[in-house]
A = this chain, B = another copy of it.
């Protein structure tokens, strides 16, 4: 029961984050297709951030399916993750409205990195709470995506000053890597059920 409320609160926050980002798509004053042009980079940033929040929701969902009990530490590690995710609308709009200028693009990467770190901390908090023989511990054992992502973010942040396009290409690649569903947990859960 306790777990349900943590999930419901997280769902609420993620649902709001994913939706209010669209408020940064300022309605253009013109009525020609031209008028949509300055909106385009904001729109593409929105698509990327929508994808990221979707991935976080998806992984969060899987992780808590493999979680049995919720402790005070888990509650706070979860809020810490939600905090960094809540900065997505700001970081997305700053990058998008400035057509991928170097510093905003690097700042977007910092927010991505911190959210990744917070997710990792949450995962470790749950595993510490449930024991190293738990379902989740074995499922994330060979977590190559989780290990690769911070490396790519750390590479992308300085590269934003060389070429913001390389940086945003790396951000997009990480998102695509995560789109591969987390079959490890699904498999572990499936094996467990049968």
Contacts and interface: CB of A to CB of B under 8 A. Distances in A.
Most chain B CB atoms below 10 A, which of A1, A50, A86: A86
A156 interface: no
Nearest to A107: B36
Contacts of A120: none
Interface stretch (A22-30, A121-129, A132-140, A165-173): A22-30
Interface in A10-35: 11-20, 22-25, 27-28, 31-33
Looking at chain A's contact residues, the main secondary structure is: helix
Given A2-B61, A65-B2, A186-B72, A98 B31 contact: yes
Give the oligomeric copy count: 4
A133 B94 CA distance: 50
Contact of A103 (B31, B47, B58): B31
A116 interface: no
A12 B107 CA distance: 29
Interface of A: 1-2, 5-9, 11-20, 22-25, 27-28, 31-33, 36, 47, 50, 54, 57-58, 61, 65, 72-73, 75-76, 79, 82-83, 86-87, 89-90, 93-94, 97-98, 101-104, 107, 179, 181-183, 186
23 contacts: A13-B15, A13-B18, A13-B19, A15-B16, A16-B19, A18-B82, A19-B20, A19-B86, A20-B22, A20-B23, A22-B87, A22-B90, A25-B90, A27-B90, A27-B93, A27-B94, A28-B94, A31-B102, A36-B107, A54-B76, A57-B79, A58-B76, A61-B75
